[in-house]
Structure 1
Amino acid sequence: MSTDIIARLCDSGHVATTAQLRNFATAQDLKRARERGLIRRLARGIYACTHIETPLVLAAQSGGRLDCVSSLARHDVWSGLERPGLHLRMKPHQHSRRSIAGAFVHWSGTLQPGSLLEVAPVDAVLEAIRCLGPDDALACIESALHTRFLSDDQLDLVVAHAPARLHPMLSSIDRGAQSGYETFARLKLVRANLKVRTQGYVPGAGHVDIIVEECVGLEIDGERWHGPERFLHDRTKDRNAELQGLRMLRIGGFHVFNDWDTTLATIRRMVSDAQAQRRPQRRRGRS
């Protein structure tokens, strides 16, 4: 019987109410499973797998649901540079079971049902872009689309319900961005009056994160996704792109956020050198 309870919990997103478990377990079954350390009782009438994440535990104990940047972070969606605090959604006029120190509480209704302890993606993203600055908000949406946390239909809902001040930002969504770092790099390059193209295809090298002025390829590596096992793959990609005449520069998040002036100067120099190298070739081609 304990295995049925655990399986049901896992199938329900690792958390379920007593009513949801009623067909699989009696009150005595739940008590025995708790005593054996197989499940957790988060709040009255709410049970969970023992491996449930802390933010969801706190949401259950407060009587709310995980929301905003806390929900995004849980699903590896861009949630801003700073480590997000705990964001919870409460229904209007709802009383909290327990106050969570330092938690940000959003008191509002939702557009879609969501789960027992977490709001739906459309509501999490909509709340997040209200909390974040414009650039972080754009990075959040592009990341949510790339990770498929947000569907096209849900994006339409976000756009329809977003504050008017965010409409200019929403009109510049680029589906080529694969990380928040790429979004910020693209925005900074555009503001520096450089022409950019995202996920440009280079024969033999594949897709390059950002191609600047059609002559410099920029790859932005996040530490999480570019460990030692990617070293050879990345260097081979750079070599093959150079073979096709595309100058390559590989940078990290630090260069985008903490050393941008030098990074931009480097990109400008590479663009200038690449364009100067191409000019004699064009003249020879016309002669």
Structure 2
Amino acid sequence: MDVLDLLQREHHGVARAGTIIAIAGRTEMLRLVRVGRLDRVCHGWYASPGAFPPARLAVAAGGALSCVSALATEGIWVPDTREIHIRVNGHTRRNPRTSCLKECANPGRVLPTPRSVDPLGTALATAAGCVTDEELVAICDSLLYRKKCDRDDLEHWLKDCRRSVRELIDWTDGRAESGTESLARFRLARRGFKVRPQVGISGVGHVDLLIGRRLVIEVDSVSYHTDVPAYNEDRRRDLILAGLGFIVVRLTYEHVMYGWDTVLPNILAITQRRDHLRDPRGFARR
């Protein structure tokens, strides 16, 4: 494999000189620099032409891409942010051109930055000090859902965090298919609801959340349910669920992220009437 291809695949296109030398040798590294195929980012660090821009910015600032920005590179759900989150190693060089950077700190002692992008464990521990409790639970759910780790890994990665953070692991569930679903589940569970995720219903498939016997909460995300076929399929499922006797509440991304104050009272109105406890006709769990 070409040196630059390997650098891009394994290091997001940005690596220490020692790493490149270990891969290709000093002579080849110097040749690549000479012909313009490697660019010096800062002392001891080089980047390929196709380097991931946030990783390059993080290294130029004396740190590594970390926190939610590093997690996002692995396809993990993270809350929206316009900032690039970096973890610094104590030798940060602030630059006016990098004002979009947000410096985050990992718990415990300051760790070195051997790579341009932090590994998942370091990124998660760093994010624990940067995001809200519900966002951290949603991130952990995403890690579990995507098989990036198991519960033991979460406990190990967060072992240096404060106790209240470690206790959030008990609230995680790897069945959630989206961050908004995780947020809704966590909020409802903290209100005392017994919420079951991804329950199978005959003729419909799996629903996002089930409260009681028949209150179905379907949570749309930005990435899904917006194209015409998905929209039509969602309405087909809703129609069947209604025919089976279920109460269906469909929440949009905006409902969860910006309008929860209008969502919760309506769910409470349903549950206070105990409508969710009645047996739906034809209910059958797969």
Residues 129 and 26 from structure 1, CA distance in 2 versus in 1: closer, same or farther, beyond 3 angstroms?
closer
Residues 168 and 152 from structure 1, CA distance in 2 versus in 1: closer, same or farther, beyond 3 angstroms?
closer
User: Taking structure 2 as the reference length, what is the TM-score of the superposition?
Assistant: 0.78
Count of residue pairs the alignment pairs up: 269
Structure 1 vs Structure 2: percent identity of aligned residues?
25
Measured in 2, the distance between the counterparts of 1:65 and 1:29 equals: 23
In structure 1, the partner of 2:21 is 19
Residues 104 and 11 from structure 1, CA distance in 2 versus in 1: closer, same or farther, beyond 3 angstroms?
closer
Measured in 2, the distance between the counterparts of 1:26 and 1:276 equals: 68
Gaps of at least 5 residues in structure 1 are 282-287
In structure 2, the partner of 1:217 is 216
Residues 232 and 41 from structure 1, CA distance in 2 versus in 1: closer, same or farther, beyond 3 angstroms?
farther
Alpha-carbon RMSD:
3.2
In structure 2, the partner of 1:258 is 258
8 Å contact 2:54–2:65 — kept in the other structure?
yes
Alignment of structure 1 residues 117-156 onto 2, 5 Å? 117-156=116-155
Measured in 2, the distance between the counterparts of 1:26 and 1:54 equals: 21
1:182 correspondence with 2:181? yes
Gaps of at least 5 residues in structure 2 are 282-286
In structure 2, the partner of 1:6 is 4
How far apart are 1:20 and its partner, in Å?
3.7
User: Taking structure 1 as the reference length, what is the TM-score of the superposition?
Assistant: 0.78
Which deviations, in whole Å up to 9, do the C-alpha atoms of 1:127-147 show, x marking residues without a partner? 111222222222222222223
Alignment of structure 1 residues 169-208 onto 2, 5 Å? 169-208=168-207
Measured in 2, the distance between the counterparts of 1:120 and 1:277 equals: 47
Measured in 2, the distance between the counterparts of 1:262 and 1:120 equals: 38
Residues 198 and 115 from structure 1, CA distance in 2 versus in 1: closer, same or farther, beyond 3 angstroms?
farther
1:96 correspondence with 2:96? no
Alignment of structure 1 residues 63-102 onto 2, 5 Å? 63-80=62-79, 83=81, 85-91=83-89, 94-97=90-93, 99=95, 100-101=98-99, 102=101
How far apart are 1:211 and its partner, in Å?
0.5
Residues 232 and 115 from structure 1, CA distance in 2 versus in 1: closer, same or farther, beyond 3 angstroms?
farther
SS in 1 for 2:129: helix
Measured in 1, the distance between the counterparts of 2:69 and 2:191 equals: 32
